[in-house]
Amino acid sequence: MAPCRRCLGSPILSAVGISGNVPHGVQHGLSTRIKTIVDHAVAEYTARNLPMLQTELDQQAARNRARSYRPSEDLAPEFEGLPLDPDPLPGAPFLFTIAGLADDELVELPPLPPLSDEAKAALRQEVGLADEYANMVGREICSLLLRHRLNVQAVISQYVEPQIEALLADLTEALDSPFDPEAP
C-alpha cells in the first residue's frame, strides 16, 4: 500500500507528537479532522473576502452536483484522502475501478466558462490569499496542539497501545509455530 500523502510528514501529527509507531487509522482520523477545521475556516474566509474565488468554487460545486456518481464525496473524515481502489496485483487487472467510473462521469460535463487574462491573474492572487490564510490557520492549530502533546500521547498509551497488544496476542495464538513442541 502506498504511503498516505495526508499523513506522511504532516505538521499536525508532528505537533501533537504522533509518530509512525501509531497505527495509520489513528493518524489519518486526527489529521483529516484537523484538515476539516482548516477547510471550514478557509471556506468562511473565502466567502467573506474572495468573491472571484468563491464564484469559481460555486461553479465547480454546481458541476459536481450535476454528476450522478461521486464516490469520494460525503465520506467520514477518516476515509477522506484515501485511495478509492486497492493497488492492482501484477497480472490481475481490474475489470473496472471506482476511480475509473468517477472519471467517466467527468467526461460528460461541459467546460467552465473561459476567463480573461486579467481575471486569471486576479483569481491566482485570491488563491494565493486563501493558501496564506490556510497556512496561518494550520500554524495556529499546530501551536495549540503542542500544548496537548503529552495528553494525546497518554491517551494513545491508555487506549490504542492495549488494542494493538491484544491484536498481536490474538495473532500469535492463531499462528502455528513449527518449533513449538506442544503444538498439535
Give pLDDT, residue 123.
94
Instruction: Give a yes or no: residue 67 inside a domain.
Output: yes
Give per-residue pLDDT as tens, 18-50.
877 888 888 888 898 999 999 999 999 999 999
Instruction: Give a yes or no: residue 149 inside a domain.
Output: yes
Instruction: Give a yes or no: residue 117 inside a domain.
Output: yes
Q: How many domains does the chain have?
A: 1
Instruction: Give a yes or no: residue 128 inside a domain.
Output: yes
pLDDT band at 71 (very low <50, low <70, confident <90, very high): low
Please tell me the distance from the alpha carbon of residue 180 to that of residue 184, in angstroms, as a whole number: 9
Instruction: Give a yes or no: residue 11 inside a domain.
Output: no
SS3 89: strand
Indicate the pTM of the whole model. Answer: 0.68
Please tell me the distance from the alpha carbon of residue 163 to that of residue 80, in angstroms, as a whole number: 24
Instruction: Give a yes or no: residue 3 inside a domain.
Output: no
